[in-house]
Amino acid sequence: MTEPRPAIQKLRRRKELHKQKSKLYRVPFALVGGLVVLAGLALSLPGVPGPGLLLVGLGLAMLALEFDRAERLLERIIDRVEAVRDRTSAAQEIAIGLLGVAALAGYVVAIILWDVPVLPG
């Protein structure tokens, strides 16, 4: 059997520490984790702006500290993400980073040229 990835090992250590906390902390923590997942799912709907998938991942990470099923799902996601990352070359990572910087620069230029409001209101 292969050694789990470092991110999974870290998750398991955090879960052990989390299980030592009182129920008075763990129950609200799990409820907030569930709400974060629900908010992420709502923000993932078409036409709704926001970091939906990021919030789903964060909420799932919170729930993984409390529930074994959420932990297994998060471990599968981590394995897949890191497997893709292992197959990505340094040149591809640089290209993706430059594309992100170009997209951010384009957004800033659009804000300046077309007076796009940064915050609603």
Shared domain check, 112 and 83: no
Position 36 scores a pLDDT of 95
- The number of folded domains in the chain is 2
Residue 1 lies in a domain: no
- 11: closest CA among 54, 83, 53, 74? 74
Position 65 scores a pLDDT of 94
Check pLDDT > 70 for residue 78: yes
Position 120 scores a pLDDT of 66
Q: How far apart are CA 76 and CA 121, in angstroms?
A: 41
Other CB atoms within 10 Å distance of the CB of residue 59: 21
86-104 pLDDT tens trace: 888 999 989 999 999 999 9
Shared domain check, 77 and 60: yes
- 15: closest CA among 92, 94, 69, 54? 69
Q: How far apart are CA 42 and CA 3, in angstroms?
A: 36
Shared domain check, 72 and 15: yes
Shared domain check, 95 and 36: no
Shared domain check, 20 and 71: yes
The pTM (predicted TM-score) of the whole model is 0.69
Domain, as residue range, for 121: 89-121
Shared domain check, 66 and 16: yes
3-class secondary structure for 28-75? HHHHHHHHHHHHHHHHCCCCCCCCHHHHHHHHHHHHHCCCHHHHHHHH
